[in-house]
Structure formats: structure tokens, C-alpha cells
């Protein structure tokens, strides 16, 4: 592809890095080692790793790049020959392939589910050929990254590089903004409103606006007031909807947005406990159970109905999509089957919606309530049904169908909670963790990731789709949470604490790890809007998307994602090109199927640089994509060239 003609800023001459050559070699070696570790963990879990970064890492060790993924070798077609809209699955959404069952035995050992093909091999301790992670290796890798992140020389180097990246972007916009705008104007039909965008981080329990929830409750009070909806254990009888509201001394006339009291306010700032109360309409847990739970007296019917209404709004907008988080707690083995049956029974499906399973880090609550006796049981409840349905889809038929639209896993909770102990080699294994204390963040993430690795490799062998690990990280708490996420996560939600660590921020940039930032949610909980690092991260080239987190608590309009974009655009003066770039990033970061992304972004979206951009679909000018690509290559060149110079000096 010929070089694009636009204004470039060239920085040349010796000492481009701003630090002595010997220091640069040591710093570069540490950064490359960190990237190689990230690449290793991505390959194990079948996560993505940028091919540009991989190519430069191969040059350091004089290795041949791995064979190109076949998906990147597709012939280029004219944009008009490949449909822009993906085919709909609305008619038969849960129709899927049923693989033949394979006999095997599952055993939870050391926190990992190990797969054996016979009882004889169980006795011999010979499990199937799958990657089982060693936690001591992980802890050593984690320690190495942590020491890199705290190294003063590396901090100085990465701070300078990030400042340089930000300045280059400012110059790029000054020199090329008009040309980028002209490129967008020349594209027929396409503008910011009709490019695909995905809300990459939103919780379904608060996926509707407060006005929508209020309208829904009032409608049900009018049309279904005599329907039994709640079992009162104290009275030992089922209550109708009108009886529930009578017990709360409320009438439909009393209900308004203020009495609903679900919106975050000044009382929730740095008070996650107060924020959690906002999940209860009118402060009553029984209303939450009736309207926004899947497992209740009416089998989650109201919750399904309101989700379908929210999905209908997305379908009406046509170009907005969402990846909703829905909870599996690990309290009981049948949670997966209950969730799947709820989804199929109520036909909860939309072309505009995909699911992520969020696992709240609340082991201590399950343990206190006697649901489980150790952390290993929680892991077993989370993963064993998935292994069973992978090897025999008909063992959990509804689950097999429901998983068709589950793209990955999330790990959620308040990161600001103090952790009782660090994750070390002396930390008890999950089956031996019988304490009432909650395990640390990195302990949760490691054992979730390790089991996802085994599961993904098993599913790939069975011809099934694999899962991504996309945890919350860096919203609050310790910066080392982001070290764990750097190694184990496909992409993350929040990540605002990266502003405290220039080294991690630079590594996230070089590895192009996706970050879904929710500035309005951050504004209510941990970080005021003007102090949000989003504009700095974006200018420096980190792969960002905007997300809503929880429209029920943080937004006012029917289109919360557009609300998020519009406020960001006004406050930070984002251009149309910036907004379309963020929308394109959101699709790339999402867990939507490859085939769908080919329709939305173009057949060659996996290619690097402008070759992978189709402006007719994304409305992102090739100039912007070329600038991002060339800048990344130059940064990678600085650190890899320093190592090659060092190696050449040693050879001579």
C-alpha cells in the first residue's frame, strides 16, 4: 500500500530517547521482557496480541514471526461487495451445532479443573494434554513486572515517552485536522451517528435509565397489580404487586424519580457501600428482587421484559450495541442452568446485545452464609458446568444454547477495599482457603484466568468459540491490580489508576490493551470529571472506548452511550474524527464474533495500519489510522533498536 500523503512530524538524531545509551538498553530490555510475558499469557488464553508489537519482539531475538492468522490473508474486496449489516439471528437465535459427547472425568486439583479421559488415568495422575498453569511461575512473572513498574530509570524514560506521544498528537491535529475532516465529508451516508459503536462495559442490573424503570414499575402496577410476585417469608404467603407496595406505604401516584432514589449523588463519592444501596429502588431490596433479578418468585419475568425493552431501544438506534454483564456468583452448581433457562424461556435475545459473565469477588459473604466452605468450591461451581457442557452439550442443553452469545468473563467488586494478605507462594490453595477472609484481587484473577485457559483450549479442540477475560481493574485500590491485569486480561474496564504509573501506562500502549473508561461513573464514585485521565490517554494512543457502566445510576437519557460521547466531546473538545476512532475501538475491543466485525469494520479489519481501515464503514480517516500505526512502530523501534545495538556490541 502506497504511503499516505499527510503532514508528519519527524524527530531524528542521536539521543532521541532523552536518556544515556546504557540506561536505554537496560530500560528497553525490561520493557521488552514485560511485553514478551504479556504475549505468552495471551497465547495461552487465546487472547489477542497486536501483530505489530509481536513483529518487533521477534526482531529482538532474531526469531521468525509466527505464521499469519488465516483471517488476515483474505483478499481485499470492494467495500460495496460485502454487506455492511451482519445477518440477523432473530428468527432462530438459539439454534446451534450439537457436538458429539466425549467421555471424560473432571477433578478440581490445586484450584484448577483437570480433565482425564479415563478412571485409569485418574489413578495414574495423567490428565489430558492441556495447558495447566503453575502459580509459582505466575508469581515470579508478576514480581518481575512489578519490579519493572517501580524502577526509577524506567519511570523517567516512560514519562518522557508519554509526554512526547501526547505532544505529537497535538501537532498532528494542528497539521491534519482539516484534511481529516475533508476525508470524512467525502464519505457518503456515513457519520458519527451511523457508525457501529459498542458499550463495552455496562451492567444489565442497571442497564436501563431511572425514567425507564419508573415507567415500567408504574405500568405493571396498572396492568398486573393482582399478580403474585413476591413470597414473604415472615407472613409465609405470596404477595401481589399491589400488596407489596401497600406494605411499603406507597401508591403509584407517590412514585417518581426522586422516590425511586437509584441515581448516584454526592453521597456516593468514595462510598461504594452507599453506591450499592442505590441498586434497591426506593431503598427496598424486595423491589430489586421483583424487578431486576433472574431468580425470584416470578422466575425473572419482569427483568426479562425490561431487558427486552432496553434492547429494543438499541435496535431502534440500529448502530448502538451493548455487552451486558450478568452475574454468576459461584454459590451453587445449578446457577448456570438457572440463568440459561431464564434466557431461553423468556427469549432474551437481540442482535445488538452480547453477554459477559461477571463474577463478584464476594467469597466472604458466600462463606459466612454457609453456601460454600472453601474458595475451591466457588471455582468448581463457576467452571465445572462449563467443562461438562463443552464435552457433552446435551448434559446442559439450555446452557449450550445460551453460551452462543456469551463472549467472556469479568471480575467485579470494590477495588478500594483493603486486602488482608498478598498473594504469595505460601498462600493456601483454593480448596485449603477455608478462612472467612476474602482472597486478594490477584488470587481471584489468577484462578479465573487459569481455568479459562484450560476451558478455552478444550473448547477450541471441540470446535466451539472461546471466552475472553475482561476484568474490572484500576478503578481504585492498589496499582498492582493493573500489573495482574496486564498479564492476564484481554482488555479491562476503568484503568484510570494508570495515570499513577507511567511504566504501566506505556506498556498498555505498546501492547495496545483495550480500556473501557466510564467518565460519568468515575465522576460519581472515585474521580471528578475534569481530573479524568481519558483525554491524556487518548492523545497518547492508548486503545480506549467510552462506556456507560450503569445508566440507572449515572445517566438521564434514553441513549446513555450517546450521552457519554456527547459530554466527553463537549468537555474535552473531541473532534468528529476522535469520536469515530473511539467507536471503531469499541467494536475491536468487543467480544462480537469475527464475522460480525467483518461487516461492521471491513473484511481486513485485523490488518495493521490504514490497510485494516475501511472509511466507508468506520468513518475514521486513513490519515488518523496511519498516524497511530506509524507512531506505535517508532516507539517499538526505539526500544528494540536499543537492545539490538547492545547485542551487536557484545558480539564484537
User: How confident is the model over 193-202, as pLDDT tens digits?
Assistant: 999 999 999 9
Which residues have a Cβ under 8 Å from the Cβ of 602 and sit 6 or more positions away? 79, 82, 612, 613, 614, 616, 617, 618
Residue 10 has a pLDDT of 83
Separation of alpha carbons 57 and 31, rounded Å: 11
Q: What is the DSSP string of 406-438?
A: EEEEEEES-TTSPPSS---TTSPPGGG---SSP
Q: Name the average pLDDT for the chain.
A: 90
Once rounded to an integer, what is the mean pLDDT over residues 535-545? 98
Question: Rounded to two decimals, what is the model's pTM?
Answer: 0.93
Q: Tell me which of 366, 367, 494, 555 is the catalytic residue.
A: 494
DSSP symbol at 205: G
Separation of alpha carbons 323 and 592, rounded Å: 9
Strands 514-517 and 544-546: parallel
How does pLDDT run across 203-232, given as a tens digit for each residue?
A: 999 899 989 998 999 999 999 999 999 888
Residue 650 has a pLDDT of 47
> Quick check: 126 pLDDT over 80?
yes
Which residues have a Cβ under 8 Å from the Cβ of 27 and sit 6 or more positions away? 19, 151, 153, 154, 157, 639, 642
Dig out the grid coordinates for 214 from the structure. Answer: 419508573
Name the CA radius of gyration of the chain, rounded: 25
How does pLDDT run across 474-507, given as a tens digit for each residue?
A: 998 899 999 999 999 999 999 999 999 999 999 9
DSSP symbol at 342: H
Position 121 confidence tier, pLDDT thresholds 50, 70, 90? confident
Position 63 confidence tier, pLDDT thresholds 50, 70, 90? low
**Distance of alpha carbon 123 from its chain centroid, rounded?**
39
Residue 70 has a pLDDT of 47
> Quick check: 618 pLDDT over 50?
yes
Active-site residue 494, yes or no?
Answer: yes
Q: If 0-12 CB within 10 Å is exposed, 13-18 middle and 19+ buried, where does residue 77 land?
A: exposed
Once rounded to an integer, what is the mean pLDDT over residues 540-556? 93
Amino acid at each position: 500500500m502506497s504511503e499516505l500523503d499527510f503532514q508528519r512530524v519527524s524527530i531524528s538524531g542521536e539521543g532521541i530517547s532523552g536518556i544515556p545509551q546504557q540506561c536505554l538498553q537496560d530500560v528497553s530490555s525490561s520493557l521488552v521482557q514485560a511485553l514478551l510475558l504479556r504475549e505468552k499469557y495471551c497465547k495461552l488464553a487465546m487472547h489477542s496480541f497486536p501483530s505489530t508489537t509481536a513483529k518487533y519482539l521477534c526482531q529482538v531475538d532474531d526469531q521468525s514471526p509466527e505464521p499469519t492468522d488465516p483471517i488476515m490473508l483474505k483478499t481485499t474486496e470492494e467495500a460495496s461487495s460485502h454487506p455492511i449489516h451482519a445477518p440477523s439471528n432473530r428468527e432462530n437465535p438459539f439454534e446451534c451445532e450439537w457436538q458429539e459427547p466425549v467421555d471424560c472425568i473432571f477433578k478440581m486439583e490445586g484450584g484448577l479443573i483437570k480433565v482425564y479421559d479415563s478412571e485409569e488415568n485418574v489413578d495414574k495422575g495423567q490428565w489430558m494434554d492441556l495447558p495447566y498453569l503453575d502459580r509459582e511461575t505466575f508469581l515470579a512473572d508478576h514480581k518481575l513486572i512489578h519490579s519493572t513498574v517501580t524502577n526509577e530509570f524506567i519511570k523517567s524514560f516512560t514519562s518522557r515517552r508519554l509526554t512526547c506521544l501526547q505532544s505529537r498528537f497535538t501537532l498532528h491535529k494542528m497539521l491534519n485536522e482539516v484534511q481529516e475532516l475533508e476525508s470524512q465529508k467525502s464519505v457518503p451516508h456515513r457519520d458519527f451517528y451511523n457508525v457501529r459503536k459498542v458499550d463495552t462495559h455496562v451492567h444489565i442490573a442497571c442497564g436501563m435509565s431511572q425514567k425507564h424503570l419508573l415507567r415500567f414499575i408504574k405500568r405493571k402496577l396498572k396492568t398486573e397489580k393482582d399478580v403474585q410476585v413476591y413470597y414473604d417469608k415472615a407472613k409465609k404467603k405470596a404477595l401481589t404487586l399491589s400488596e407489596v407496595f401497600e406494605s411499603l406505604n406507597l401508591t403509584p401516584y407517590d412514585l417518581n424519580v426522586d422516590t425511586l432514589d437509584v441515581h448516584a449523588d454526592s453521597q456516593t463519592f468514595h462510598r461504594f457501600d452507599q453506591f450499592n444501596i442505590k441498586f434497591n429502588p426506593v431503598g427496598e431490596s424486595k423491589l430489586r428482587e421483583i424487578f431486576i433479578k433472574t431468580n425470584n418468585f416470578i422466575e425473572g419475568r419482569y427483568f426479562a421484559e425490561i431487558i427486552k425493552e432496553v434492547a429494543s431501544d438499541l435496535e431502534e438506534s440500529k448502530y448502538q450495541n451493548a455487552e451486558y454483564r450478568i452475574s454468576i456468583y459461584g454459590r451453587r452448581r445449578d446457577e448456570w442452568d438457572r440463568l440459561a433457562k431464564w434466557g431461553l424461556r423468556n427469549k432474551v435475545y437481540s442482535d445488538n446485545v452480547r453477554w459477559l459473565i461477571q463474577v463478584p469477588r464476594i467469597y466472604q459473604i458466600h462463606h459466612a452464609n454457609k453456601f460454600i466452605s472453601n474458595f475451591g468450591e466457588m471455582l468448581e461451581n463457576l467452571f465445572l458446568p462449563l467443562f461438562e457442557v463443552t464435552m457433552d452439550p446435551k448434559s446442559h442443553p439450555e446452557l449450550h444454547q445460551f453460551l452462543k452469545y456469551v463472549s467472556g468473563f469479568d471480575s467485579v467488586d470494590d477495588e478500594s477495599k483493603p486486602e488482608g494478605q498478598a498473594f504469595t507462594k505460601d498462600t493456601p490453595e483454593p480448596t485449603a482457603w477455608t478462612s472467612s477472609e476474602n482472597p486478594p484481587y490477584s488470587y481471584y484473577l489468577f484462578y479465573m484466568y487459569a481455568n479459562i485457559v484450560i476451558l478455552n483450549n478444550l473448547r477450541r479442540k471441540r470446535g466451539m468459540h472461546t471466552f475472553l477475560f475482561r476484568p474490572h481493574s484500576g478503578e481504585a485500590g492498589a496499582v498492582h491490580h493493573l500489573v495482574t491485569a496486564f498479564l492476564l486480561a484481554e482488555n479491562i474496564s476503568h484503568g484510570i489508576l494508570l495515570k499513577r504509573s507511567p511504566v504501566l501506562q506505556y506498556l498498555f500502549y505498546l501492547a495496545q490493551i483495550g480500556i473501557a473508561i466510564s467518565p460519568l461513573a468515575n465522576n460519581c464514585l472515585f474521580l471528578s470529571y475534569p481530573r479524568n485521565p481519558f483525554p491524556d490517554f487518548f492523545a497518547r494512543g492508548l486503545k480506549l472506548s467510552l462506556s456507560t457502566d450503569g445508566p440507572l445510576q449515572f445517566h438521564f437519557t434514553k441513549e446513555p452511550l450517546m450521552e457519554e460521547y456527547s459530554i466527553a466531546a463537549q468537555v474535552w473538545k473531541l473532534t468528529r474524527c476522535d469520536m469515530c476512532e473511539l467507536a471503531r475501538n469499541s467494536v475491536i475491543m468487543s467480544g462480537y464474533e469475527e464475522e460480525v466485525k467483518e461487516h461492521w469494520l471491513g473484511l481486513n479489519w485485523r490488518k495493521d495500519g490504514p490497510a485494516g481501515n475501511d472509511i466507508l464503514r468506520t468513518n475514521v480517516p486513513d490519515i488518523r489510522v496511519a498516524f497511530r500505526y506509524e507512531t506505535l512502530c517508532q516507539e517499538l523501534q526505539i526500544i528494540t533498536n536499543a537492545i539490538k545495538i547492545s547485542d551487536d556490541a557484545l558480539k564484537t
